[in-house]
């Protein structure tokens, strides 16, 4: 759904301290794709972590639109060492067609450079095989990823998962026989412009480059 459920920062700290005391875990990855969507809640969590003096380290995943330089500084003080951001495609109309919210490519690069200037690593995540993608548009995305040149770059394949709004338009096009095939690393539907082999070659080209 569209409702964001957020936990009390004190309960998050309590759980982190539990894993530290029982298993010696001091490093965490928050698998929340909109981690900083509520700035007030994010700042409260930062304050709780800073005051705990536990010196945790963590990685977050969020949208660049939900980050500003002051928030990044506060997150760094709380222990953040890396942020994972979805850039997705270098071609704006490709993202717009897929109903993916995005910010201008120049703003994307500027924000990434600002984050890196504070000593925070950035993982950029891209998607190949959007519905309107072509071999040329995918190569534009690969070229843009090289231009950003973040410390880690991830390429996955557009995947309309069952239960998501995107799936309804692809029910008759799905080629995959099993849910296990919905890996985000292979084309699972009949694409208008790309074959399974095209996408595999583009993915390999992306990682090779």
Q: Closest by alpha carbon to 201, among 140, 138, 150, 148?
A: 138
The distance from CA 11 to its chain's CA centroid, rounded to whole angstroms, is: 25
Q: DSSP label at 203? A: H
What is the spatial distance between Cα 180 and Cα 34, in angstroms, rounded to a whole number? 26
Number of separate helices (H) and strands (E) present in the chain: 7, 5
What is the spatial distance between Cα 168 and Cα 189, in angstroms, rounded to a whole number? 12
Q: DSSP label at 168? A: G
Instruction: Name residue 62's beta-bridge partners.
Output: 85
Convert the pLDDT of each residue in 112-169 to its tens digit: 999 999 999 999 999 999 999 999 999 999 999 999 999 999 999 999 988 887 788 8
Strands 27-29, 57-62: pairing kind: parallel
Q: Tokens 């998962």 map to which residue?
A: 161
Q: Which residues contact 182 (CB under 8 A, 6 or more apart)?
A: 159, 161, 162, 176, 188
Count of other CB atoms within 10 angstroms of residue 146: 11
Indicate left, alpha or beta for 88 from its phi (over 0: left) and psi (-120 to 50: alpha): left
* pLDDT, tens digit only, all 209 positions of the chain: 677 788 999 999 999 999 999 999 999 999 988 899 999 999 999 999 999 999 999 999 999 999 999 999 999 999 999 999 999 999 888 887 777 766 777 889 999 999 999 999 999 999 999 999 999 999 999 999 999 999 999 999 999 988 887 788 888 899 988 989 999 999 999 999 999 999 999 999 999 99
The distance from CA 159 to its chain's CA centroid, rounded to whole angstroms, is: 14
Residue 59, SS3? strand
């Amino acid at each position: 759904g569209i409702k964001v459920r957020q936990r009390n920062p004190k309960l998050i700290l309590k759980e982190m301290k539990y894993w530290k005391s029982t298993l010696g875990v001091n490093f965490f990855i928050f698998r929340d794709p909109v981690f900083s969507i509520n700035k007030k809640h994010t700042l409260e969590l930062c304050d709780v972590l800073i005051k705990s003096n536990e010196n945790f380290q963590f990685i977050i995943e969020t949208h660049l639109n939900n980050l500003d330089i002051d928030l990044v500084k506060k997150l760094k003080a709380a222990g953040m060492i890396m942020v994972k951001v979805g850039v997705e495609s270098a071609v704006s109309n490709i993202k717009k067609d897929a109903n993916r919210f995005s910010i201008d490519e120049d703003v994307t690069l500027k924000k990434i450079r600002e984050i890196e200037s504070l000593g925070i690593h950035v993982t950029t995540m891209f998607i190949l095989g959007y519905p309107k993608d072509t071999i040329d548009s995918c190569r534009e995305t690969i070229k843009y990823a090289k231009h950003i040149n973040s410390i880690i770059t991830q390429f996955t394949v557009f995947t309309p998962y069952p239960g998501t709004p995107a799936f309804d338009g692809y029910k008759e096009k799905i080629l995959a026989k099993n849910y296990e095939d919905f890996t985000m690393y292979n084309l699972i539907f009949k694409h208008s412009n790309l074959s399974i082999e095209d996408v595999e070659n583009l993915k390999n080209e992306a990682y090779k480059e």
